[in-house]
Structure 1
């Protein structure tokens, strides 16, 4: 484990030495972007650093409705509701469907944010399909399937092949879109429209807004009626919302987001054009993360002052998750150095 004393941006300081950082989830690299920080600080001055009141309070701040309409338009959903984090978004949807008597099923590689009470993922979509078939034989209550749209193993986005083999007209689908929403793929819209085209009985999408939009907040997208039902729960009413300064920044930084999405896309194309060992990586079209199993890559890059994501996830007993993550805050020379080192490692 490496401890740092400031935000791990393009570079980090480890043992008094500057190193390039290709990890984390700051895909657009906005957390230290001067123009973005100015927008954020101006909104903190207007709205304060925190807002701890319930969204059900008799005093309402208009920026919440504005931000939710803005997000719904980006994603092309009927409605949206925001919460304080992506994790809370997932837990709110889990709690809601469980309390309504639905049975919850978890697709391979679904994120822990979608789980409750030590539920487990199915290992394969075939196992999941068998479980769903058996369930539908004994119950008329629609099952709810939870999955990550971006699972870093190619099982879902972009084709969602496993999902398409299920009887989706009888299933409520809930997808965590945290690693797609706001990024360069699908022009920042995430995977909502793609999933909607599969025609599930109902679709809800949960997401963190931190990875793509660089603000601490979460969101849930779906039909207007279901979103209103979620807003009327005690779970939602009892939780503090995202801070209004964060959501105001989301509204005010639209031009910055668009510019950074384009820059990230350029970095992805540059890396793919230069790397000669694509077979060593698992990656998805237009996405900035490149997962690998060969730990020689981690060691070799660190030896040459590049740190990547590599740790046991989500707990100490889990396999090592190793990933190169490109960001809009990287420079062209950073990407070229990364390419040269990886090609040299494999003597290409």
Structure 2
């Protein structure tokens, strides 16, 4: 087995440094932006949750005997992110599928470019072009159309070619329209808007109802899915067969999340300090990145091979299909140390 194959068959947890055959490799990939999977204080909270609630919950939310923490968590997250209501599911993928499937027929459906596959209904919608151009064309179409009801689906971020999307366009939609905007904030929640979510930068209007869907398994480090939005729409989702019949996420992770406010705050501050240092270092034409987002796209070739010679692993895979060009990115997480950042900078210089 060559070394590249061994990276695909690890027998230990992902961390900022990975040991294989006695050699340490610095790891600058993945989506654990806040370093929660290796945060000892968070792990302590998680163990407290296990002792209180057990390893998992094999009953559905429709069961006549239920754990109260699920309702407590939903009230907590709705308050935390400033929405009327919330729904927790076993994964972000399920949260996205459930939401889009339920509301797709409520109006004319339009997808933004580069939406995540979990948001698709009938395969890749094949929308091309930039997000900015899409919003301009969409505004023109909606405001000039006789169609009153619309359903818009988008990511909050393009995390592969780092870009944070601007949703100010919805304030320009004709107030006579009825719009549901579904935004996948899986890569933004916990990172965007000073560690909050995309919702802080989405205009609030009476005629556009916003539903946020997200995986909590990335920056937030919890294996669960989250839906945030107006109470009426969330209650509709809670009446679906998929929600009632599915087993929920582990209560232990939700318990840890609810008690980890200071941990998330400190981790975010650490991330921004490291991110600023790398951003200043990579201000060259060969790199593309968005302000305050810890993903750095290399526009040249063979970055992975060059850094591997220095025992550094980065995110490198073809996208959006297996025959597409390889996308090379450096991803900074809170678990990285200042010394590890210096090692990365030294390798990049060489």
TM-score, normalised to structure 2, is 0.88
Cα distance between partner residues in 2 of 1:256 and 1:11: 21
> For the residues of structure 1 that align with 2:222 and 2:243, how far apart are their CA atoms?
20
> What is the distance in 1 between the residues matched to 2:252 and 2:180?
33
Partner of 2:270: 263
Correspondence 1:36 to 2:42: yes
- Of 220, 223, 236 in structure 2, the residue corresponding to residue 216 of structure 1 is 223
Q: Does 1:249 align with 2:256?
A: yes
1:88 aligns with 2:94: yes
Equivalents in 2 of 1:131, 1:108: separation in Å? 12
1:119 paired residue among 111, 118, 124: 124
Secondary structure class of the residue paired with 2:158:
coil
Provide the secondary structure at the position in 2 that maps to 1:196. Answer: coil
Contact 1:148–1:156 (CA under 8 A) maintained in structure 2? no
Q: For the aligned residues, what is the CA RMSD?
A: 2.4
- Residue 248 of structure 1 deviates from its aligned partner by 0.8
Contact in 2 for aligned 1:168/1:198 (Cα 8 Å): no
Matched, 1:329 2:335: yes
The separation in 2 between residues aligned to 1:85 and 1:309, in whole angstroms, is 23
In 1, Cα distance between equivalents of 2:195 and 2:37:
18
Write the distance in 2 (CA, Å) between the matches of 1:60 and 1:168: 44
Question: How far apart are the structure 1 equivalents of 2:120 and 2:324?
Answer: 16
Q: Indicate the SS of the match to 1:237.
A: helix
Matched, 1:63 2:69: yes
Matched, 1:107 2:112: yes
Consecutive unaligned residues of structure 2, counting only runs of 5 or more, are none
Do the aligned residues in 2 keep the contact of 1:72 with 1:221 (CA within 8 Å)? yes
- The residue that corresponds to 1:188 in the other structure is 195
How many Å separate the matches in 2 of 1:319 and 1:237? 41
Confirm or deny: 8 A CA contact 1:271 1:336 kept in the other structure: no
- In structure 1, distance between residues paired with 2:95 and 2:13: 25
**C-alpha separation in 1, matches of 2:45 and 2:95:** 25
Q: Taking structure 1 as reference, are residues 290 and 7 closer, same or farther at Cα in structure 2, changes over 3 Å only?
A: same
TM normalised by structure 1 equals 0.89
Structure 1 residue 179 corresponds to structure 2 residue 184: no
Q: Do 1:180 and 1:190's aligned partners in 2 also have CA atoms closer than 8 Å?
A: yes
Q: Determine helix, strand or coil for the equivalent of 1:144.
A: strand
1:147 maps to what in 2?
Answer: 154
Kept in 2: contact 1:86–1:217 (CA 8 A): yes
Moved segments of 4+, more than 4 Å = 127-139, 163-166, 197-200
Q: Give SS of 1:182's match.
A: coil
Aligned to 1:228: 235
Distance 1:317-1:167 versus aligned 2 partners, 3 A rule: farther
User: How far apart in 2 are the matches of 1:240 and 1:287?
Assistant: 33
Equivalent residue number for residue 23 of structure 1: 29
Work out the CA distance in 2 between the residues paired with 1:191 and 1:42: 30
Distance 1:305 1:242 in 2: 36
**C-alpha distance after superposition, 1:166-216 (max 9, x if no partner):** 737533211111111112x32321111211347762111101111121110
The 3-state SS of whatever aligns with 1:262 is: helix
Residues 63-91 of structure 1 show CA distances to partners (whole Å, capped at 9, x for unaligned) of 11221122122211121111111111100
The one-character-per-residue Cα deviations of 1:32-68 (angstroms, maximum 9, x if unpaired) are 2222111111211211111121212222311112211
Q: Which stretch of structure 1 is more off in the superposition, 166-175 or 79-88?
A: 166-175
Structure-2 separation of matches of 1:105 and 1:241: 30
In structure 2, distance between residues paired with 1:196 and 1:138 = 22
Q: Report how many aligned residue pairs link the two structures.
A: 339
